[in-house]
Amino acid sequence: MERQVFILSHPLARRNAAHACAVAPDGYRVEIKERTRTLDQNDLLWSILTDLSKQVDWSINGKLEKLSPEDWKDILTASLDQEHRIAEGVRGGFVMLGRRTSKMGVRKMSELIDFAHSVGDEKGVKWSPTSIGREAL
């Protein structure tokens, strides 16, 4: 039996999921969880991160510089819940660990997008049209 995923959005999907559980071999695992972030949310986030990377200087080792969208993602995901996870580097130094947005639920991703917008608004970012698309939330 191959992996199956059911989006519980209508009665037939629920019946199909229940049937799959009933016929699954012993030892199989069932997991019910919130849907992960949408592709529209992901596209919106990367547009926001790109705008931040082009317009905002951030202090790195005491020096203001432009960061990559990936760096902004790390900073924002680590800052979202005010969680500070820092790992020792393999050859010295330290690495700040962010969260994986691909694992975030729709609501958590909406929080991250709102948070990123608020940071950019505070820094005077002029949002590109693709960064304003709040319909992705």
Instruction: Domain ranges for the chain, please list them.
Output: 1-32, 36-123
Contact 112, 101 (CB under 8 A): yes
pLDDT value at residue 11:
95
pLDDT value at residue 95:
82
> According to the CATH classification, is domain 36-123 in 3.10.20.90?
no
How many residues can be counted in the chain?
137
pLDDT value at residue 134:
54
**What is the C-alpha to C-alpha distance for residues 58 and 53, in angstroms, rounded to an integer?**
9
Contact 65, 52 (CB under 8 A): no
Place of tokens 């012993």: 26
pLDDT value at residue 15:
97
Q: What is the DSSP letter of 31?
A: -
| Residue 31, both tokens | 């997991």
Instruction: Tell me the residue type at 108.
Output: K
* pLDDT under 50: residue ranges of the chain: none
**What is the biggest distance separating any 2 CA atoms in the chain, rounded to whole angstroms?**
60
